[in-house]
C-alpha cells in the first residue's frame, strides 16, 4: 500500500476529531512535522484532551502524537478548587473496590493532579489515573505511582505468562511481536495492523501478575 501523504493524514485527523461528538475540536489545530502529529489549541476538559490524542493516533499510523493541547474550561462552569479536587479524587479511589488506595497520595496544584505512593499491581496504577480523566477541574495528571508486587515473580515467569495470554487471543499474531522482561518491566515491540490490537496487547501486559511497568514500542502499520 502506498504511504499516505502528510496532507492526507492531516485531513483524516481533522475529520476524525470533528466526527467524535465527545470532543469539542473547534479550537484544535493539527500540524505534521518529521513523522510527528502535533496537536495545539484548547479543549474544554482533560478527558477531551486524552480523547483527541487517541482519535489522532487511530488514523495516524506510525506517526508520533505530540499532545500540546491545553484545557480551558467554559466560563459558566463551577470549577472546584485544588483542595476540593483532591478530596473528590481521594473519595473516588476509596469507593472503587478494585483499587487499594491506602498507599496512594493525591496532590493538586492549579488543576494539575499528582499521584504518588505505591500499589501492588500494575493495572491499579493505570486504573487510578484513568478514573481522574473525567474529574471536573483537572487540567493534567502526573502519575508517579510505583508498583511493588506483593510477591516477586521471576522475569521468565512473567514473560511466559504474557506470551501464553497473547497466544490465546485470536486477534493477535504473536509472531510479529517481541516480548522481553527485565526486572519486572515488560518491553513489547513489533508491528500490528490497528490501534485496538495494540491496546489489547498492552492491556494483556498490564494485567499480567508481577508486572512493575510496561514499555510500549509497538508500531502500527
pLDDT tens-digit series, residues 180-209: 999 999 999 998 888 888 889 999 999 999
Which pLDDT score is estimated for 88?
95
Distances (CA, A) of 110 to 84, 138, 157: 12, 9, 43
Give the architecture-level CATH label for domain 6-71.
2-Layer Sandwich (3.30)
- Helix 195-206 / helix 46-60 crossing angle, nearest 10 deg: 120
CATH number for the domain running over 82-147: 3.30.1340.30
How do the domains of the chain map onto residue ranges? 6-71, 82-147, 155-220
Q: Are 59 and 128 in contact (CB under 8 A)?
A: no
The pLDDT tens digits for 114-127 are: 999 999 999 999 99
Q: Are 186 and 177 in contact (CB under 8 A)?
A: no
What's the topology of domain 155-220?
Answer: 3.30.1340
Amino acid at each position: 500500500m502506498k504511504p499516505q501523504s502528510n496532507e492526507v493524514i492531516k485531513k483524516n485527523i481533522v475529520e476524525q476529531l470533528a466526527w467524535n461528538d465527545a470532543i469539542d475540536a473547534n479550537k484544535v489545530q493539527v500540524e505534521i512535522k518529521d513523522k510527528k502529529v502535533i496537536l495545539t489549541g484548547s479543549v474544554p476538559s482533560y478527558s477531551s484532551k486524552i480523547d483527541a490524542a487517541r482519535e489522532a493516533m487511530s488514523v495516524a499510523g506510525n506517526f508520533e502524537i505530540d499532545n500540546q493541547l491545553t484545557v480551558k474550561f467554559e466560563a459558566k462552569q463551577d470549577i472546584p478548587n485544588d483542595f476540593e479536587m483532591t478530596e473528590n479524587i481521594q473519595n473516588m479511589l476509596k469507593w472503587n473496590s478494585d483499587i487499594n488506595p491506602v498507599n496512594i497520595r493525591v496532590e493538586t496544584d492549579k488543576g494539575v493532579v499528582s499521584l504518588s505512593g505505591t500499589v501492588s499491581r500494575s493495572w491499579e496504577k493505570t486504573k487510578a489515573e484513568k478514573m481522574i480523566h473525567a474529574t471536573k477541574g483537572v487540567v493534567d495528571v502526573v502519575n508517579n505511582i510505583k508498583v511493588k508486587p506483593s510477591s516477586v515473580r521471576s522475569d521468565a515467569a512473567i514473560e511466559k505468562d504474557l506470551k501464553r495470554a497473547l497466544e490465546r487471543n485470536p486477534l493477535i499474531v504473536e509472531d510479529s511481536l517481541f516480548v522481553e522482561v527485565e526486572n519486572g518491566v515488560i518491553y513489547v515491540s513489533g508491528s500490528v495492523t490497528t490501534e485496538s490490537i495494540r491496546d489489547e496487547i498492552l492491556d494483556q501486559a498490564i494485567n499480567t501478575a508481577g508486572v512493575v511497568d510496561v514499555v510500549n514500542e509497538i508500531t502500527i502499520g
